[in-house]
C-alpha cells in the first residue's frame, strides 16, 4: 500500500488515511510541506510478514539538502517484529529535517508506534522538531536523537523498549524533554550536554 500512499503524497499537501490496515514493503517518503494524518489506533501502517530486510517505514525525501514543515499525526505504526526475524526495521527516520535552527522541521503527534526491531522514532542532523503525545513501545530505543539539537519532546509514553526510552547521541544538544513517562529497565538512556528535562516520570519497570 506504500505506492498508493506515496502517489497521494506526491499529488496533495495533506493525505488522510481512513481506518484500516495498510501493509507496506517499502518506505513512505515525505517531502517538505507534507502532512500524513490518520484516524488513531484504528488506522494502522504495518510491515508485511517475513519482510526480513532493512526497512524504514516513514522517511523524508531529501536527506542531502533536507526537508521541513512535515507533519505525521494520529497513526498507528506497527513494525510487526514477531513476524520478521531478520533485518533492521525502524519506524519514523528523519534526516536533515530542518537542518537549520531558523526553519520549523516536523511534528510527530498522537501516534502509536510499536513492535520495531530498531528505533520507533529517530531524528538525525535535525533541528526545531516536535515529538509530542505519542505512545511508543517494544522497540530498541523508543525515541533516538543523533546529532540533533533544539528539539522538543513532550507528553510521550515510552514502554518496554530494550535499550531505553529516549537516547541522545553524537553531540545532540539543547533538546527539551518534558511531561513524558518511561516504563523501562533503562529510562532515559543517554543524555547529552545542553538538555533540559522536566516533569517526567520513571515508575518501576513491569514486564
String of DSSP letters for 119-160: -SEEEES-BS-EEES-EEESSSEEEEEES-BS-EEES-EEES
- Quick count: other Cβ atoms within 10 Å of Cβ 26? 12
| pLDDT band, very low/low/confident/very high, at 81 (cuts 50, 70, 90) | very high
Q: What is the pLDDT of residues 9-40, one digit of tens each?
A: 999 999 999 999 999 999 999 999 999 999 99
Whole-angstrom distance, CA of residue 70 vs CA of residue 99: 13
pLDDT given at position 103: 87
Please, what's the largest Cα pairwise distance for the chain?
47
Give the whole-number percent of the chain exceeding pLDDT 90.
Answer: 69
**Nine-digit cell string for 34:** 507534507
The length of the chain in residues reads: 207
Q: Which of 71-80, 136-145, 166-175: highest mean pLDDT?
A: 71-80
CA 5 to each of CA 11, 30, 107, 182, 183: distance values in angstroms, whole numbers, following the listed order: 10, 10, 19, 32, 33
**Nine-digit cell string for 187:** 529510562
Whole-angstrom distance, CA of residue 80 vs CA of residue 61: 24
Q: What SS3 state is found at 109?
A: strand
194 DSSP β-pair partners: none
- Residue 9 is inside which H or E element, if any? helix 2-11
pLDDT given at position 109: 98
* Fold annotation for 2-198: Pectate Lyase C-like (2.160.20)
Q: Identify which has the larger pLDDT, 25 or 171.
A: 25
| pLDDT band, very low/low/confident/very high, at 200 (cuts 50, 70, 90) | low
Q: Identify which has the larger pLDDT, 93 or 148.
A: 93
pLDDT given at position 46: 99
User: With 80 as the cut, is the pLDDT of residue 150 above it?
Assistant: yes
| pLDDT band, very low/low/confident/very high, at 165 (cuts 50, 70, 90) | confident
Ranges of each domain in the chain: 2-198
| pLDDT band, very low/low/confident/very high, at 203 (cuts 50, 70, 90) | low
The average confidence (pLDDT) of the chain is 88
pLDDT given at position 28: 99
| pLDDT band, very low/low/confident/very high, at 50 (cuts 50, 70, 90) | very high
Whole-angstrom distance, CA of residue 96 vs CA of residue 126: 5
Amino acid at each position: 500500500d506504500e505506492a498508493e500512499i506515496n502517489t497521494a503524497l506526491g499529488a496533495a499537501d495533506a493525505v488522510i488515511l481512513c481506518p484500516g490496515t495498510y501493509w507496506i514493503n517499502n518506505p513512505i517518503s515525505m517531502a517538505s510541506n507534507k502532512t500524513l494524518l490518520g484516524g488513531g489506533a484504528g488506522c494502522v501502517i504495518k510491515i508485511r510478514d517475513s519482510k526480513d530486510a532493512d526497512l524504514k517505514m516513514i522517511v523524508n525525501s531529501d536527506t542531502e539538502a533536507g526537508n521541513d514543515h512535515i507533519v505525521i499525526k494520529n497513526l498507528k505504526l506497527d513494525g510487526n517484529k514477531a513476524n520478521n526475524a531478520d533485518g533492521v526495521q525502524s519506524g519514523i527516520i528523519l534526516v536533515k529535517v530542518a537542518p537549520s535552527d531558523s526553519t520549523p522541521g516536523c511534528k510527530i503527534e498522537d501516534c502509536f508506534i510499536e513492535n520495531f526491531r530498531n528505533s520507533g522514532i529517530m531524528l538525525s542532523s535535525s533541528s526545531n522538531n516536535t515529538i509530542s503525545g505519542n505512545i511508543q513501545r517494544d522497540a530498541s530505543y523508543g525515541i533516538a536523537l543523533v546529532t540533533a539539537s533544539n528539539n522538543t519532546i513532550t507528553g510521550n509514553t515510552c514502554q518496554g523498549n530494550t535499550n531505553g526510552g529516549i537516547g541522545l547521541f553524537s553531540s545532540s544538544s539543547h533538546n527539551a524533554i518534558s511531561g513524558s513517562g518511561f516504563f523501562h529497565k533503562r529510562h532515559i538512556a543517554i543524555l547529552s550536554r545542553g538538555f533540559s528535562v522536566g516533569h517526567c516520570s520513571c515508575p518501576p519497570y513491569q514486564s
